């Protein structure tokens, strides 16, 4: 059986912690779709298309031979997973707050679509503290976030901050 993993998120912006989870998920399952959610219930810095483009460029640095794709989506993540034939939904965990949220979401998603497994992966050091919120805050307060994000994201953040 071929396993396709879905790594969903807002990715506003994609940072090195996201890339770490994506690369490790790809190594485990050999086929990964990074799903960029279009309308989360939060204020976004980047448009949906900008987030898809930045993720595509950032993930191109991984040697994946075309087996990592970036797709935008709306609606329920597990519905999207079924539509694209994903057997696994991958979520990243940094801390106990993430765990509590992901446990609730994972159990709800499994209740709705039991044939799709929810798998959580721990963020590796040095990325376990990195969040998109932190990256945006550092950027807009004039700090250097370049060690936390791929170069294409650092450039896009600087352009947004300079507007």
- Please, which residues have CB within 8 angstroms of residue 18's CB and are 6 or more apart in sequence? 9, 11, 55, 92
Helices (H) and strands (E) counted in the chain, each on its own, are: 6, 5
- Please spell the DSSP secondary structure of 57-98, one letter per residue: HHHTTS--TT-EEEEEE-S-HHHHHHHHT-SEEEEEE-SHHH
Q: Could you read off the pLDDT of 73-124 as tens digits, one per residue?
A: 999 999 999 999 999 999 998 877 878 888 999 999 999 999 999 999 998 8
Structure tokens given for 28: 């485990």
What is the chain's alpha carbon radius of gyration, rounded to the nearest angstrom? 15
How many angstroms separate the CA atoms of 107 and 81, rounded?
Answer: 15
* pTM tops 0.75: yes
What's the CA gap between 121 and 94, in Å, rounded? Answer: 9
For residue 70, the Cα-to-chain-centroid distance in whole angstroms is 10
List, for residues 123-148, the tens digit of each pLDDT value.
888 888 899 999 999 999 999 999 99
Beta-bridge mates of residue 128: none
Domains observed in the chain:
5-158 (3.40.50.620)
Give the torsion sign (CA, 54, 123, 26, 118).
Answer: negative
Which string of DSSP letters, residue by residue, matches 13-45?
T--HHHHHHHHHHHHHHS-EEEEEES--SS--S
């Amino acid at each position: 059986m071929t396993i396709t993993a879905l790594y969903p998120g807002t990715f506003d912006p994609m940072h090195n912690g996201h890339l770490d989870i994506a690369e490790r998920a790809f190594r485990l399952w050999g086929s990964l779709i990074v799903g960029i959610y279009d309308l989360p219930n939060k204020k976004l810095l980047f448009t949906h298309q900008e987030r898809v483009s930045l993720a595509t460029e950032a993930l191109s640095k991984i040697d994946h031979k075309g087996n990592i794709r970036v797709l935008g989506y709306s609606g329920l993540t597990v519905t999207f997973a079924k539509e694209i034939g994903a057997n696994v939904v991958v979520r990243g965990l940094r801390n106990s707050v993430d765990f509590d949220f992901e446990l609730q979401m994972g159990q709800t998603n499994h209740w709705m679509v039991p044939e799709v497994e929810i798998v959580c992966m721990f963020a590796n050091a040095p990325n376990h503290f990195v969040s998109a919120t932190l990256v945006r805050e550092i950027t807009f307060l004039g700090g250097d976030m370049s060690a936390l994000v791929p170069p294409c994201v650092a450039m896009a953040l600087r352009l947004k901050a300079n507007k």
